[in-house]
A = this chain, B = another copy of it.
Amino acid sequence: MKSVKKKPVPTHKEVFVKRITREILSGKWNPGDKLPSERELAAEMGMGKTVVHNGFEQLAAMGLVYIKPKSGIFVADYMKTGNIETLNAIVNLNGDELGRDVVEAILDLRLAIEGMALRALCLCRSEDDIAHLRSITEDIRDCSDNMGVEELAERFFLWHREICILSGKSVLTLFMNTVHDVSIAFWVKYLRMYGTSFAIERLERFIGFIEARDCEGAYNLLATGIDDYLANLEKQTM
Closest to A172 in B: B105
Say yes or no for A87: interface residue by CB 8 A criterion.
yes
Chain A contact residues, majority secondary structure: helix
User: Which one of B108, B173, B180 lies within 8 Å of A79 (CB-CB)?
Assistant: B173
Interface residues of A in 96-111 (CB under 8 A from B): 101-102, 105-106, 108-109
Contact string against B for A residues 152-176, beta-carbon threshold 8 Å, 1 for contact and 0 otherwise: 0000000000000100011111110
Asked if B79 and A170 sit within 8 Å, CB to CB, the answer is yes
Say yes or no for A83: interface residue by CB 8 A criterion.
yes
A233 cross-chain contacts in B, Cβ below 8 A? none
Asked if A174 and B109 sit within 8 Å, CB to CB, the answer is no
Asked if B63 and A177 sit within 8 Å, CB to CB, the answer is yes
Interface residues of A in 28-78 (CB under 8 A from B): 54, 61, 63
Q: With A and B bound together, what is the CA distance between A219 and B178 in angstroms?
A: 26
Contact string against B for A residues 93-132, beta-carbon threshold 8 Å, 1 for contact and 0 otherwise: 0000000011001101100110010000000000000000
Q: With A and B bound together, what is the CA distance between A101 and B63 in angstroms?
A: 30
Asked if A80 and B112 sit within 8 Å, CB to CB, the answer is no
A15 smallest CB distance to B (angstroms) = 18
A21 cross-chain contacts in B, Cβ below 8 A? none
User: Which one of B54, B81, B178 lies within 8 Å of A84 (CB-CB)?
Assistant: B178
Asked if B171 and A106 sit within 8 Å, CB to CB, the answer is yes
Interface residues of A in 16-32 (CB under 8 A from B): none
Asked if B171 and A109 sit within 8 Å, CB to CB, the answer is yes
A contact residues vs B (CB 8 Å cutoff): 54, 61, 63, 79-87, 101-102, 105-106, 108-109, 112-113, 116, 165, 169-175, 177-178, 180
